[in-house]
Structure 1
Amino acid sequence: MWSTLIWSLIAWSSLLHIHPAETAKLIPNLGYFIEMKQMDCVGNPSYFANTYCRILPPHNRSMEASVTIMQKLSTFSGSLRVAIPNAKKVITQIFDITFDVCKVLRERKRKMLIDLMVNTVARNSNAKDWKCPFPKGKFESKNMTVTDLPPMLTESPFYVNLDFFIPKVAHGLNITLKGHLFEIAKVNARKKKYL
C-alpha cells in the first residue's frame, strides 16, 4: 500500500513538475529518526588531542564533537562498522567499510553511508572546505543530527564504530555510538494506540 502511494505521488509530481524534495514533504509520516544512548570518543594524543563528544539532551537526537588535530595529516583512512542485534541478541555486522578519507573527499565518489556521515559532520562544522591535507588546529561540529536515512531500514538498536588511522603508522581516533533507530510511522501508530 505504501509503495503504491509513494509511486503515485512521484508520478503526479513529475507530471506537475514538482521537485522530488517537495514530493517528500507530501509524505510526512515516512522516514526515520535516531535516538542516541551512548557516545564515546578516544584519540591518540600524538595526532588527535582534546577529544570531546557528547549527545545533546533532551531528545538525544543530536550530538556535538570537537578535536584538536596535532599535526598536518596528508594520509588518512577510516573504517566504519555498523551492527545490530537480532532477536536472540546476537550482534550482526551489517556494514563494514574501509575508505581513504582523502580520496573520498577529493573524488566525491562515496557510498551512501559515507555520504551520510560526511554530510552530518560537515553541516554545522567550523571546517570551510574538507580536503587533504588536514591542517593542524581545532575542529568542531555542533548540533549534528542524522537525516536522510535510506528507506530500507527497520526499527532496531544499533552500534556504530568509526576508526580513523594513518595506514601502517598509527591508530588515530575511535568513535563509538549506541542508539536506536525509530520508524516515524510506527512511532505515530504507537502514540495513537496508547493516547
Structure 2
Amino acid sequence: MLPIIWWLGIIVCSLLRIQLTDTAKLIPHMGYYIEMKQMDCVGNPNYFADMYCRIIPPKNRTMEASLNVMQPMSAFSGSLRVSIPNAKKVMTQIFDITFDGCKVLRERKRKIIIDLLVNTLAKNGSGKLWRCPISKGKFESRNISVTDLPPMLTESEFLVNLDFFIPKVATVMNVTLHGHLYEVAKERHRRKKYL
C-alpha cells in the first residue's frame, strides 16, 4: 500500500506540474517533516577530501555537509534509492532513479525527487558545485532541511542511498540517510493526546 501512495504522489505532482509549495497551501492540514536518525557520507579520496556530513541535534531535522573537490569533473551520474519497511518491517526499495548529473543541472528538467534534492542543497550551500563541469574547491552547505514534500505521502521510516559516480571509471561519493517521515497533523494529534 505504501509504495502505491508514494508513486501516486510523485506521478500526480509530475503530471500536473503543480508547484509543491502551492499544493501545500491548498491543503494546509497536510504537511510533513523529516527526523533524521543516522547519516553517513563517504567520498573517494581521489575526488574529494575533508568530507563530512552530520545531523544537527537536538531536533535532528537539519544537517550540514562540507567537502573539498580535488579534481574537476566534467561528467558524473547519480543513483538515488529510497526504501521503506514493508508489513514485516523489512526495508523494501520503493524506487531507484539513475540520472546524468550534468544534464540535470544544465536542463533543469528533473524528476520531482531529484528536483527536491538539488533545490534543498542549492539554497543552503555555496552553489559552487551545481554547475558542470564541477571545479576544484570547497563546498559547504549548512542548515539543510527537506521541505516541499509531495502531499500524498504517508508516515514511515525510510532509508535513502545516494551515489555519485563517473560511469565506467569510479564511484566518487556515497551518502546514506536513515530517518522517519512524520505527518504534521498526526503529530499534533499525538501531542494533544499525551499532553
Residue matched to 1:55: 55
Instruction: Select the structure of larger CA radius of gyration.
Output: 1
Distance in 2 (alpha carbons) for counterparts of 1:23 and 1:102: 29
Task: Report the RMSD for the aligned CA atoms in angstroms.
Answer: 1.9
Equivalences for residues 159-178 of structure 1 within 5 A: 159-178=159-178
Structure 1 gaps of 5+ residues are 1-19
Distance in 1 (alpha carbons) for counterparts of 2:21 and 2:116: 17
Equivalences for residues 8-157 of structure 1 within 5 A: 24-25=24-25, 28-127=28-127, 130-157=130-157
Identity of aligned residues (%): 72
Question: Could you say what secondary structure the match of 2:140 adopts?
Answer: strand
Aligned length: 177
Q: Give the TM-score of the pair, scaled to structure 1.
A: 0.86
- Using the TM superposition, give the Cα deviation of residue 28 of structure 1 relative to its aligned residue in structure 2, in angstroms: 4.2
Q: Deviations over 1:94-150 (max 9, x none)?
A: 120000000001111100000000011111101257210000011110000000001
Distance in 1 (alpha carbons) for counterparts of 2:145 and 2:91: 25
Point out the more displaced range, 89-98 or 179-188: 89-98
Question: Taking structure 1 as reference, are residues 51 and 188 closer, same or farther at Cα in structure 2, changes over 3 Å only?
Answer: same
> Hey, which bits of structure 1, 4+ residues long, moved more than 4 A?
20-28
- Using the TM superposition, give the Cα deviation of residue 25 of structure 1 relative to its aligned residue in structure 2, in angstroms: 4.7
Question: Could you say what secondary structure the match of 2:185 adopts?
Answer: helix
Question: Could you say what secondary structure the match of 2:103 adopts?
Answer: helix
